[in-house]
Structure 1
Amino acid sequence: MIELKNVHKTFTRKGIAIDALKGVSLKVEKGDIFGVIGYSGAGKSTLIRLVNYLERPTEGQVLVDGHDLGAYSVKELRAAKKNIGMIFQHFNLLESKKVFDNVAIPLVLLKKSKEEIRKRVTELLEFVGLSDKAGSYPNELSGGQKQRVGIARALASNPSILLCDEATSALDPQTTRSILQLLKRVNAEYKITVMIITHEMSVIQEICNKVAVMEEGRIIEQGSVLDVFGHPQHPTTQNFVKTVIQNSITPSVQKSITTGLGSRICRLNFVGASTTEPLLYEMIRTNEVKVNILFANTTEIQETTLGTVIVQLDGDGAEINKAVAFLKNNGVSVEEVEAYVLDHSNR
């Protein structure tokens, strides 16, 4: 539905070329809630502005529903952009207009009849839970209510795509959760594809099914949220995942570890059904290895449980290999991590 093909974007500031995007390629399928995450300056806001052609790529293609936006005439592009709604970090409401009139703006521009506008705006305000605020002004609303108005306005023209540029970063955690749940309803009930730009991994965890991680204008990792959370490859992705999922040994435990010849420390990742199976028990029962559990944690992503266990395995090398093979054969990802070899004579 949305596809970027080898997109580059270069800005020129005071004669200096700044590469905001460097060969970005990604695909958002119909019905996705697709998250793009990165630190400030990663290029994510530039990327989302390309999708509705608020910015044009320096090189590469932006396709929506299979059509290259760059090939459209001005009139054709204007028509295509009516199919793309957008909500913003700071709401972008007109302070001089009441809530009803803010939501109605896209419909007025489309020259809809007063009755059509009344019916559609009333429906949307009910959907976002603001029926009683139709006659209020933006300065009478909370941040969460303002964003709900922004969402209603973005939905007014019945778009098939909704772009969200840091839509929750100005909100408190509780309000953020309520807005994210509303976006899930938008996706499910209106069948709208949602693309979210954020620097908060908790937002990705809450509602996205796919994610792309950006750094310095490039996509460094992308895939299903379950895969990226369960097996982050790039150090930047790993740092983001750590903000919502603790998956490493604490410093105090590290200091207490004693290892001998043949000891291995492994991170075991369990997904779904394997998290409830007694696999460690079966591994110990069938192999002559000693197991010291150094860390354990579970979390839920996309209604699937992820479990992380870090263990120290001691025993004969062949037995440890058999134990590891047993786990892998039962769907457990096994990653050998740095051994904490300590010189206790110097402690």
Structure 2
Amino acid sequence: MIEMRSIHKTYKRKNITTEALKEINLQVEEGDIFGVIGYSGAGKSTLVRLVNYLERPTGGKVIVDGQELDKMSDSKLRAMKKQIGMIFQHFNLLESKTIFDNVAIPLILSKKPKAEIKKRVMELLEFIGLSDKAKSYPKELSGGQKQRVGIARALASNPKILLCDEATSALDPQTTQSILQLLKRVNQEYNITVMIITHEMSVIQEVCNRVAVMEAGEIIEQGSVLDVFGHPQHPTTKSFVQTVIHNNIPESVKRTLKQTDNSRVFRLEIQGDSASEPIVNQLMKNYEVEVNILFANMTEIQETTLVIMYLQFEGAGNDVEKAIQFLVEKGANMEEVTA
């Protein structure tokens, strides 16, 4: 649905050149909720503005729904942009217009019949749970309600893609949760591909199925959310993941570890149904090893349970190897941790 090939974006101001994006390659499939995360200045907002050509790349290709945007005529590009909705951090509602009129703006600009506009706007206000606010004004709404109106307005022209640029950053945690659940409904009920720009890993955890991590204008890591959360490779990714999943042995525990010739420490990761099985209990019952649970954490990502544990094994080498093989057969990913 969205593809970027070898994208570069350079700004030149007062003889100063800034490279905002460097060799960006990513692909967002139809039906994805794709997250792009990075700290301020990473280039993520520039990247999302390339999707609807609010910004044009200095080099590379942007392909949307199978069409290269740089090869499209102005009229075709305008038609394509109608298939891409966008919501913003600060809502961008017109304070002098009612909620009904704010949602209707894209339809009015497209010169749709009044009856069609009324039907579509009321349908969307019902969908976002604000049908009773049609005659209200933005100043009468809470931040969460304003963002819901922004989502309804973005959906008015029946887009195939919804871009969300820090859409929850101005909201409190409870309201953020409700907006993310609404975006999930948009994705599932309207079959709209969603691209979310954020600096909050909790947003990625809650709704996204795939993620790209950005730093200094580059994508440093990307993949399924489960893979990236379970096996972060880059230090920046690890830093983001640790804001929502504590996946390291506490230093206080490390200091008390007994090091012996027969002692080995492993990082164990289990996903899905296997996470609910008492495999550590089975291990201790059936194998001649002592098992010390140093650390354990369970979290849910995309309705899949992810368990990360650090286990210390005490026993003869062959017995430990048999225990490890048992865990692997049960679906655990094992990685030995050395001091």
Q: TM-score, normalised by structure 1?
A: 0.94
CA distance in 1, matches of 2:125, 2:307: 41
Aligned partner of 1:343 in structure 2 is none
Aligned partner of 1:269: which letter? E
CA distance in 2, matches of 1:102, 1:232: 42
Q: Secondary structure at the match of 1:299?
A: strand
Structure 1 unmatched ranges of 5 or more: 340-347
Deviations 1:83-130 (A, max 9, x none): 000000011111111111111110111001111111111111111111
Aligned partner of 2:275 in structure 1 is 275
CA distance in 1, matches of 2:145, 2:278: 47
Q: Cα–Cα, structure 1 residues 338 and 92, in superposed 2: closer, same or farther, change >3 Å?
A: farther
CA distance in 1, matches of 2:139, 2:276: 50
Q: Secondary structure at the match of 1:148?
A: helix
Deviations 1:20-68 (A, max 9, x none): 1111111111111111111111111111000000000111110011100
Percent of paired sites with the same residue: 69
Aligned partner of 2:85: which letter? G
- Are 1:315 and 2:315 counterparts? yes
Aligned partner of 1:156 in structure 2 is 156
Shift of 1:188: 0.9
Q: TM-score, normalised by structure 2?
A: 0.96
Bigger shift: residues 107-116 or 328-337:
328-337
Structure 2 unmatched ranges of 5 or more: none
Aligned partner of 1:15 in structure 2 is 15
Aligned partner of 1:90 in structure 2 is 90
CA distance in 2, matches of 1:107, 1:72: 23
Aligned partner of 2:234 in structure 1 is 234
Bigger shift: residues 271-280 or 207-216:
271-280
- Are 1:203 and 2:236 counterparts? no
Aligned-CA RMSD value = 1.3
Shift of 1:247: 1.2
Q: Which consecutive aligned stretches of 4+ in structure 1 deviate over 4 angstroms post-superposition? A: none
Shift of 1:285: 4.0
Aligned partner of 1:145 in structure 2 is 145
CA distance in 2, matches of 1:230, 1:11: 36
CA distance in 2, matches of 1:77, 1:320: 62
Deviations 1:184-208 (A, max 9, x none): 1111111111110011111011111
- Are 1:134 and 2:112 counterparts? no
Shift of 1:171: 0.2
- Are 1:256 and 2:259 counterparts? no
Aligned partner of 2:75: which letter? K
Q: Secondary structure at the match of 2:85?
A: strand
Q: Secondary structure at the match of 1:171?
A: coil
Aligned partner of 1:179 in structure 2 is 179
CA distance in 1, matches of 2:214, 2:317: 40
Shift of 1:239: 1.3
CA distance in 2, matches of 1:323, 1:41: 47
Q: Secondary structure at the match of 1:21?
A: strand
Q: Secondary structure at the match of 1:294?
A: strand
Q: Secondary structure at the match of 2:94?
A: coil
Aligned partner of 1:81 in structure 2 is 81
Deviations 1:258-305 (A, max 9, x none): 212242221100111221223223333444322111111111111111
Aligned partner of 2:47 in structure 1 is 47
Shift of 1:133: 1.2
CA distance in 2, matches of 1:31, 1:302: 14
CA distance in 2, matches of 1:11, 1:320: 58
Aligned partner of 1:167 in structure 2 is 167
- Are 1:292 and 2:289 counterparts? no
Q: Secondary structure at the match of 2:310?
A: strand
Aligned partner of 1:52: which letter? N
CA distance in 1, matches of 2:330, 2:37: 32
Aligned partner of 1:171: which letter? L
CA distance in 2, matches of 1:318, 1:71: 64
Shift of 1:245: 1.1
